[in-house]
Chain A
Amino acid sequence: MTKSRFISLAASFLTLAASVAQAASVRVQVVDQAGAPVADAVVYAVPASGKQPATKPAGAIIDQVKRRFVPLVSVVQTGTSVTFPNKDNIEHDVYSFSPAKRFELNLYHGIPAKPIVFDKPGLVVMGCNIHDEMVAYLLIVDTPWFAKTDAKGAATIENVPADGYRLIAWHYRQVDPDAQPAQKINAAADVSAKFALQLKAPE
């Protein structure tokens, strides 16, 4: 009860803000074919008008901790610089053969000198050349409005200007990696959406 009241309060606040800045929140719930909540799913909204804010995207960080990429799944706007700090006491050699971005950070400790700029939209799968089990997914999207679901499968895209959008969901375990489940939404006000994805079993 308190929560719903809080949400309604927030909603009225947002409505107020939108009316001021004309912005809304998009709440998305992602479940799998069994109806279970799906974490680490990426949702992003592409404006139907194609209008993009001119703001330069902020940088992103993908850590390497205990021979794992953290986070496993990241989403960034096209043109984002990503740094790959190595927090293990062993060297890693981060690489990607993905068409969206091919690169290799030769064996290194700590923070590499230059971040990698991901200037093309698409999926970049990264690995470590000396640790085959290490994998990280970086989805590069042409929009600043994106979010990643939490453990409950819920994600919220904030400050979405009022407009019509294509809301797209992606997950690295999708059965059909090329499928792009999408919904049309109108962000005149806060809006909710739900995706049910066909996923492969985790390896």
Chain B
Amino acid sequence: MRLHSLRARIALVFVVLMLAAQAAAYVVINSVILKNAHQNAEEQLSVAQRVFGQVLRGNSQQLTQAASVAASDFGFREAVATHDSSTVASALQNNGDRIHADVVMLVDLDGKLIAESTGAGHEGMAFAFPHLIKAVAQKGDASSFGVIGGKAYQLVAVPVKAPIVIAWVVMGFAIDDAFAREMSSLASLDVSFLTVDERGHWGVLASSLPEASRVALKNQTQLADDGYATRLVRLHSEGRTVAVLLERSLIQALAPFHRLQSALLLITLLGVIVSIAGSMLTARSVTRPLAALAQFSRRVGHGDYSRPIEVRQHDEIGELASAFNQMQESIVERERRITELAYMDRLTGLPNRALFSDRLQAAVSAATETGRPLSVMMMDLDRFKLVNDTLGHPIGDTLLCEVAKRLQTALLRPTDTVARLGGDEFAVLLPGDDLAAARLVAARMLHALEAPIMIEGQLVDVGASIGIVTYPHHGSDMNVLMRRADIAMYEAKRNNLGHAVYDERHDHNSAERLSLMSELRQAVEHDQLTLYYQPKVDLATHRVKYVEALVRWDHPTRGFVSPDQFIPFAEQTGYIKTVSRWVADKAIAQCAAWQAQGIELAVSVNVSARELIQSTLPETFQTLLDKHGVAPERIWIEITESAIMDDPNHAIETLDRLHALGIRLSIDDFGTGYSSLSYLKRMPVDEIKIDKSFVMGMAQHKDDETIVRSTIDLGHNMGLKVVAEGVETEEMMLQLKALRCDLAQGFHLSRPLPPAKLVDWLDGWRTRNGLAQEISLSA
């Protein structure tokens, strides 16, 4: 049971409350008990003190009575009067024996001993307790305690009258251990008689205690510490102080209370145990249904709605359980709705791509287990875009619905699924069907679509292309199957076949492209790309002022890969950024190298549309220029006209910033991008390059010549240099020269060359045109 669980907490609260109550009761009762015990002990002591006083008074009376009897005896009086000492002594003895008195003495009026029963021969000595006699003379009777020869006695005195007082009879009981024991048994506590000697030390005269325990009596404070309630009563005494010490052992006195205490403790413990058990049971009665509810909601959470929770109680928990059941029903209903929405195509009511994927996945799994085949078909409507564009989307949508209906009717079995994947794309799943069966279904589907469809009074003719794959022949992975069906469908469409089965040969391109991408990545990383440079020749002076950098890829196995093959691909994947940066870096580095060799050549690099709208392009170039120490005037950037037209405002902004750096700008493929002249006017360009398709067509087509001529005029009118690309023959060059084109570039002059070869070509070119000296001078 975790400590934070409700059950533990309920139990804990119960137990703590119970403990607190029990502890409080225990403490209170205990303190009352203890107080009572102490009070009892004190009361016992008080009672004992009273009893003791009573006994002493009784003794005193007994002694007095006996002494009086003796003193009033005629013969005794006569003996005393006649000083017959031996008679007196025997009479004293006799009277003392009658009451077991321990000492009997006769004292004359001068306070001298006349006789004594002990026969110790103290006659004639002074009586030790004159105050006793004085007190009796004054008050009539009195008793006192005194120590005679180390023993304590309770003494009384009685006058002998004849008829006036002629002597005193003194009688006493010894205060000995026997007396102490008698007292002890009367009062049921320990009785000790103590005396104080001249030095103030306590001594024990008699005690009910055994000898061994008497030493402790001399220190009464220690007794209290040892658990005794004591009371010291000083007795009326003459000479040495005599006191009686009453002790009650608190341990004994408390013994019954201790038993009570133990019983109380036991009851408390039992109460706690019972309360723990009770609280746990109570807690369980609450937490069990809660746990059941928790388990139920976990089950619902996992999507198990199989059975509602049983409602047994009619309390709050029962209500909660009912609420849970209602919630479960609502969840089931809503989930059904959501599933419907998630898996259904809203337009056609067919399963959508998600549901198709699920079913295909399930079917593949089932097929793997049973070993049965399955077929998947992808279908795409022919000319649907045309319908949409010409007749409008509502018609297009209605067409799709009609197609969906026809496809559903074309499928015969309920296990077959036709789904709309999006747009005009449909997919069909045929569990259990092999290729032959699939072909039949495809044919049936195409046949279903052959009949023209009437929509809002218009006959729409629609065809379709179907790609077919089968499991396991064309793959065992759902995605592979889908992709290959797609490829087969395109194959069918391309060749207008109606339906086509997947063929690995169709898929060749895709695979090559994929591997090309990763190889391109490797090529950049391992410097497998190289830059070739193609010179631009000034048609007026025949000088070569700058060259265009063109990227070349010499693949280790494929050989030369054309930029047309990988550049568009790089553009699609975004990898062009890396390639462009690599090209710019190399080109600027080469420019710096030539500069170091004394060759004055500006270099132009191509930048794609994607980069043009990338606002960091100027910073990138600035960094590279700084890195290689090249003046910006030596760098040209060529941008295709179409790249600018993708996002003219953004492009112009970037071009402005490049221009501000001092970099020259050139518009590539001019004439193919439908560029607006107003944009051209706003752009900070220095040069336009006429697309080679016009230049190359110039000789055959009058139109092209017109375009070239107009472009050259346009450029010149706007103050721009004009470059002609694709110059392949001497005639073309001469023609361009006649059209006053500024610069020419093409195979006729030079192919793109690696740097070393370019330098050689330049040397040759200069020699051929008598320019060597001049260039070398300017360098």
Question: What mask results when residues 74 to 115 of chain B are scored 1 for a CB within 8 Å of chain A, else 0?
Answer: 100110011000000000000000000000000000000000
Closest B residue to A136 using CB positions: B163
B162 at the interface (CB under 8 A from A): yes
Closest A residue to B163 using CB positions: A127
CA distance A44 to B305 in the complex (A): 147
State which residues 445-502 of B face A: CB under 8 Å: none
A28 at the interface (CB under 8 A from B): no
A97 at the interface (CB under 8 A from B): yes
Query: How many residues of A are counted as interface, with CB atoms below 8 angstroms from the partner's CB atoms?
Result: 13
- Taking a contact as CB atoms under 8 Å apart, the answer to whether A97 and B164 are in contact is no
- Taking a contact as CB atoms under 8 Å apart, the answer to whether B81 and A127 are in contact is no
B721 at the interface (CB under 8 A from A): no
Closest A residue to B78 using CB positions: A97
Question: What mask results when residues 146 to 173 of chain A are scored 1 for a CB within 8 Å of chain B, else 0?
Answer: 0000000000000000000000000000
Q: Which residues of A contact B161 (CB under 8 A)?
A: 127, 132
Min Cβ gap B80→A in Å is 8
CA distance A95 to B256 in the complex (A): 67
CA distance A74 to B581 in the complex (A): 169
Closest B residue to A135 using CB positions: B163
A126 at the interface (CB under 8 A from B): yes
State which residues 287-328 of B face A: CB under 8 Å: none
A128 at the interface (CB under 8 A from B): yes
> Is chain A's interface secondary structure helix, strand, loop, or mixed overall?
strand
B249 at the interface (CB under 8 A from A): no
Closest A residue to B81 using CB positions: A97
B711 at the interface (CB under 8 A from A): no
A81 at the interface (CB under 8 A from B): no
State which residues 141-179 of B face A: CB under 8 Å: 161-164, 166
Closest B residue to A98 using CB positions: B81
Min Cβ gap B134→A in Å is 14
Report if A97-B82 is in contact (Cβ < 8 Å); known contacts: A127-B161, A134-B163, A135-B164.
Answer: yes
A129 at the interface (CB under 8 A from B): yes
CA distance A76 to B365 in the complex (A): 165
State which residues 73-123 of A face B: CB under 8 Å: 95, 97-98, 102
Q: Which residues of A contact B162 (CB under 8 A)?
A: 97, 125, 127
Q: Which residues of B contact A98 (CB under 8 A)?
A: 81
Q: Which residues of B contact A133 (CB under 8 A)?
A: 163
B72 at the interface (CB under 8 A from A): yes
CA distance A125 to B72 in the complex (A): 16
Q: Which residues of B contact A95 (CB under 8 A)?
A: 74
Closest A residue to B165 using CB positions: A203
CA distance A127 to B166 in the complex (A): 13
Q: Which residues of B contact A135 (CB under 8 A)?
A: 163-164
Q: Which residues of A contact B74 (CB under 8 A)?
A: 95, 129
Q: Which residues of A contact B81 (CB under 8 A)?
A: 97-98
Min Cβ gap B662→A in Å is 154
Min Cβ gap A112→B in Å is 18
Q: Which residues of A contact B77 (CB under 8 A)?
A: 97
CA distance A55 to B192 in the complex (A): 73
Question: What mask results when residues 206 to 232 of chain B are scored 1 for a CB within 8 Å of chain A, else 0?
Answer: 000000000000000000000000000
State which residues 50-74 of B face A: CB under 8 Å: 72, 74
- Taking a contact as CB atoms under 8 Å apart, the answer to whether A125 and B78 are in contact is no
Q: Which residues of B contact A134 (CB under 8 A)?
A: 163
CA distance A127 to B78 in the complex (A): 12
Min Cβ gap A124→B in Å is 11
State which residues 349-405 of B face A: CB under 8 Å: none
CA distance A95 to B162 in the complex (A): 9
Binding site for B on A (CB under 8 A): 95, 97-98, 102, 125-129, 132-135
A-B contacts, 16 of them at CB < 8 A, read: A97-B77, A97-B81, A97-B162, A97-B166, A98-B81, A125-B162, A126-B163, A127-B163, A127-B164, A128-B163, A129-B74, A132-B161, A133-B163, A134-B163, A135-B163, A135-B164
Closest 5 CB pairs of A and B: A127-B163, A97-B81, A135-B163, A97-B162, A129-B74
